[in-house]
């Protein structure tokens, strides 16, 4: 069944590429083209679930409760039809994460993610080079017809590859510098693990580590820089914890939590100089204004929120004019936590907090102590769950991508896989009896 396992890795790689680089397809093929591709991928995962006899009930209680609340919010939503559509997309995305956790090993997920990120980084660098050298001007997405003056945020690429030492930033095929930087950060983690474990040729691994670093420098994302600093901190804790006995780790964890709290307080107190060092404004690139507008709107429906919407639909009240800055209508709260608070109220935020905390704790345990019965992964590979969850959670405070597309499928994978750690992936299918020519089973 080796060929089937490889097909699963290929399916996972294509799924991750499609969700991490969603705007690439939307800008190139329109929302309808992207939706058609997603529908085909969903059909493939459903087919795999049926053939593999996946039990959909094997998910964490906190994850199931959060999804049930999102579905239930249709009853009190201010936009029930849009909430129904949002629920379908959210459940479909989460289903992909559940299937990856149920049918792929940790090593296979690393391979799939590596393939997806290589394509994103490679195509993005090539795309920006072509725009800067041949087109020599900004490029708009296809299938749009904007009236001038066109805000800078609307461009697929602004052709700023050779201006990055000034105020320029590349956006790549994903059309957003922060999203491209997040993909590069994922690549840096994955390729470093593959380099240490020699899972791919050393020259290839070093090349993609270098490409990830170059992409990070060209995107200049403060959010991802902070997230990578958090990953470095997590890696230090994981390495140190592996050297201590279980009883001695309590002091290490207490010190880590204390350091994290003090670091957060210090960062908030020194926000202005730190942001200046990262080349960002004190308002966190308009985030402070967006957060204020979101909190003010939430106060009108504090308990259950306005109803699940996932992406902010620009044609739906009150999102059509909730955050309009410099002619750009923002379609997220720029914080997954505030988005949950706005859409599902304090009930949703409480469930979301439980889900995040329990997932983080399980991922940390998975990275430090291999579960009984689990395939013995290398120390570098075992660190991946803790590093990935750190990257996603730190980024969630300044971006809402954890709730949609690539962020949601990866987080769902971690939530389910960390609970299933130690269990083998589900078999491709139950073996069928083979009949001899005379009709007797053998």
CA-to-CA separations, 117 to 14, 190, 208, in angstroms, rounded: 10, 9, 10
pLDDT in tens, 98-152: 999 999 999 999 999 999 999 999 999 999 999 999 998 899 998 888 888 888 8
Give this prediction's pTM. Answer: 0.90
Quick check: 86 and 309 in contact, CB under 8 A? yes
Residue with tokens 């609340």: 69
Please identify which residue in the block is written with the tokens 């957003």: 176
Asked if residue 88 lies in contact with residue 72, where contact means CB atoms within 8 angstroms, the answer is: no
Tell me if residue 441 falls in helix, strand or coil.
strand
Domain positions in the chain are 2-420
Give the dihedral sign, CA 379/239/363/17: negative
How far are the Cα atoms of 67, 78, 119, 311, 435 from residue 81, in angstroms, in the given order? 17, 9, 36, 14, 52
Query: 3-state class of 336 per DSSP?
Result: helix
- Residue spans of the chain under pLDDT 50: 1, 3-4, 427-442
Q: What's the confidence (pLDDT) of residue 427? A: 46
Residue with tokens 């559940």: 98
DSSP string, 120-167: HHHHHHHHHHHIIIII-S-BPPTT--PPSSPPGGG-SB---GGGTTTT
363/73 Cα distance (integer angstroms): 29
């Amino acid at each position: 069944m080796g060929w089937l396992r490889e097909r699963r890795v290929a399916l996972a790689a294509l799924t991750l590429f499609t969700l991490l680089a969603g705007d690439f397809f939307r800008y190139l093929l329109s929302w309808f083209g992207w939706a058609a591709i997603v529908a085909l991928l969903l059909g493939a995962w459903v087919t795999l679930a049926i053939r593999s006899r996946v039990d959909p009930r094997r998910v964490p209680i906190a994850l199931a409760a959060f999804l049930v609340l999102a579905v239930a919010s249709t009853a009190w939503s201010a936009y029930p039809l849009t909430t129904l559509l949002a629920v379908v997309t959210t459940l479909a995305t989460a289903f992909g994460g559940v299937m990856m956790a149920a049918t792929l090993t940790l090593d296979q997920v690393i391979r799939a993610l590596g393939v997806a990120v290589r394509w994103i980084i490679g195509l993005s660098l090539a795309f920006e080079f072509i725009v800067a050298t041949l087109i020599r001007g900004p490029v708009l997405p296809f299938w749009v017809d904007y009236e001038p003056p066109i805000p800078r945020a609307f461009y697929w690429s602004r052709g700023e590859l050779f201006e990055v030492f000034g105020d320029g930033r590349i956006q790549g095929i994903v059309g957003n510098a922060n999203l491209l930087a997040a993909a590069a950060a994922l690549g840096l983690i994955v390729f470093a693990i593959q380099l240490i474990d020699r899972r791919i040729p050393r020259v290839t691994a070093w090349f993609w580590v270098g490409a990830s670093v170059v992409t990070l420098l060209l995107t200049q994302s403060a959010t991802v820089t902070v997230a990578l600093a958090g990953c470095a901190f997590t890696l230090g804790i994981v390495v140190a914890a592996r050297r201590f006995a279980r009883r001695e780790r309590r002091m290490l964890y207490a010190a880590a939590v204390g350091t994290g709290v003090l670091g957060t307080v210090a960062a908030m107190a020194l926000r202005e100089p730190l942001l200046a060092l990262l080349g960002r404004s004190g308002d966190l690139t308009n985030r402070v204004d967006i957060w204020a507008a979101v909190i003010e709107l939430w106060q009108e429906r504090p308990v259950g929120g306005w109803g699940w919407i996932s992406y902010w639909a620009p044609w739906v009240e009150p999102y059509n004019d909730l955050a309009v800055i410099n002619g750009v209508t923002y379609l997220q709260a720029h914080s997954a936590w505030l988005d949950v608070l706005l859409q599902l109220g304090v009930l949703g935020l409480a469930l979301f907090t439980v889900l995040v905390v329990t997932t983080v704790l399980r991922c940390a345990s998975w990275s430090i102590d291999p579960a009984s019965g689990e395939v013995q992964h290398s120390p570098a590979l075992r660190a991946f769950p803790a590093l990935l969850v750190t990257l996603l959670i730190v980024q969630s405070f300044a971006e809402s991508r954890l709730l949609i597309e690539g962020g949601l499928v990866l987080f769902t994978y971690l939530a389910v896989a960390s609970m299933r750690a130690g269990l083998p992936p589900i078999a491709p299918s139950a073996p069928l009896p083979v009949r001899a020519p005379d009709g007797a089973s053998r």
